[in-house]
Structure formats: structure tokens, C-alpha cells
Amino acid sequence: MLVGGWYLGGRARARSKNTPFESGIDSVGSARLRLSAKFYLVAMFFVIFDVEALYLYAWSTLYP
């Protein structure tokens, strides 16, 4: 289905079709932001403690 849509779809790409529409207001700046390494550290700790909580919950239900 995806290949059929690509094959049957239009080929001409207008520049105005590729720009995002934000309520009629032109976008300013870049959408890409640089994040601090501290953010990734906090996210990593969250994932580690979340997995640890999952194992503790499974262990506590296994051995009441």
C-alpha cells in the first residue's frame, strides 16, 4: 500500500507545501534545541530506577 501510494502520488513538490503552517504565523528560528548533558543523565537515572522498581514489584508479589 505504501509503495502504491508513492507510485500513484504526485511528484511535484511546491515549496509552500513543505513549510509548516502555524496558525498563519511564520515560524522564527530553528525547531532544534541543544539540550544539556544533565538532562540525559537525569533521564538515564529515571530509566534505571524505573526498571529497578519494576523488578522490586515483581519480587514483592512473588514472595509475599
Task: Tell me which residue range forms the domain holding 56.
Answer: 35-64
- Residue 29 is predicted with a pLDDT of 74
pLDDT > 70 fraction of the chain, expressed in percent and rounded: 78
Q: Is residue 51 part of a domain?
A: yes
Reported for 36-43, long-range contacts at CB under 8 A and 24+ positions apart, including other chains, are: none
**All cell numbers assigned to 2:** 505504501
Q: Is residue 48 part of a domain?
A: yes
Q: Is residue 63 part of a domain?
A: yes
pLDDT digits (tens, 9 = 90+) for 34-55: 878 888 999 999 999 999 999 9
**All cell numbers assigned to 29:** 528560528
pTM: 0.45
In the chain, the number of structural domains is: 1
Q: Whole-angstrom Cα distance, residue 43 to residue 35?
A: 12
- Residue 11, pLDDT > 90, answer no
Q: Is residue 64 part of a domain?
A: yes
